[in-house]
Amino acid sequence: MILVVGSINMDVNIRVKSLPKPGETVLAKGITQSPGGKGANQAVAAAKAGGDVVMLGCVGADEAGDALLASLDQFGVNTKYIMRTKDVPSSKAYINISDDSENNIVVDSSANWMVSPEYLLKHEELFRQAEYCILQLEIPSDSVYMAEQLSKKYGVKIVFNPSPIDSFEIRLLENVDTLIVNQTEGEILSQIPADEITDKDWQQLMEAHNIRSVVQTLGSRGSRLYVRDEEAVTFPAMKCEAIDTTGAGDTFLGALIAMYAEGKDDREAFRFAAAASGIEVTRPGTQSAMPTREEVLSKIK
């Protein structure tokens, strides 16, 4: 079982000609809403890839909360243990998407901040049952740390995506099995410019924090896998015409871990994940744009 502990947002997608610069006002070309949140997105991606996925998180007792849970249910995520609260509304993410398919995101945490260490302790049994635990940083850092401690207690493999990186704390790196970062996150964690970081630098970071492996996504240049005391391996991206890159990294992560949970080797797992994210960026939206297992396998063939 794959346990995802994280955020559940209603995404407010704002189409713009170009992303606003500091102090600049731009006009929206259109606004739509769709279910999102890094935790929920990664859960949906893993479930659509065929994974047995359970999610822990929180939504408001509001219309948005109804829609968020319905989306997770529709795509095969077990939502039985997700909390609903009347104290705050469901979280929202405001996503500016430019004509060249780039984006920036501002998140109103609201219900996500109700995912407390105490709430996780109430569901400790799920950690006993899990094989993988996927974590991000759109919930309180104390809760991420608690999830890591419970995972460690029961021998669960910890998959950590330190995003948004401005919420990162160094203690959260300890005992992570798989650290998954993009180029910006890798640069900040290593404190080395992206074009200067070496395989040796990643090896030193893994050794310093007892991390088993690092996966760095590189956009159109594919992804790179670093495993402690082994040579790094680069995997290609799938060629595609992207129209919306929102959720591409979440799709890659969820699909990758679903493959690992099935016992697939690195080559098969990365090929599947690359195809999944390659398909996702050719469609508008996030969770609805993520491909099913059958679609990915058909594309690979």
CA distance readout (Å), 215 to 54, 111, 177, 240, 262:
23, 30, 11, 21, 18
Task: Dump pLDDT digits (tens) for 89-107.
Answer: 999 989 898 988 788 888 8
* Candidates 73, 87, 250, 265; catalytic one: 250
Mean pLDDT of the chain: 94
Q: Determine what percent of the chain is predicted with pLDDT higher than 70.
A: 100
Task: Dump pLDDT digits (tens) for 76-90.
Answer: 999 999 999 999 999
pLDDT of residue 238: 82
Name which residue leads in pLDDT, 221 or 57.
Answer: 57
pLDDT at 289 over 80: yes
Q: Decide if 62 is catalytic.
A: no
Residue 184: how many CB atoms within 10 A of its CB? 11
pLDDT at 244 over 80: no
User: Which domains, and CATH codes, for the chain?
Assistant: 2-19+30-300 (3.40.1190.20)
pLDDT at 168 over 80: yes
pLDDT at 6 over 90: yes
Model confidence band, residue 248 (pLDDT cutoffs 50, 70, 90): very high
pLDDT at 224 over 90: yes
Does residue 14 contact residue 97 with C-beta atoms inside 8 Å? yes
Alpha-carbon span 185 to 166, nearest angstrom: 9
pLDDT of residue 166: 86
pLDDT at 209 over 80: yes
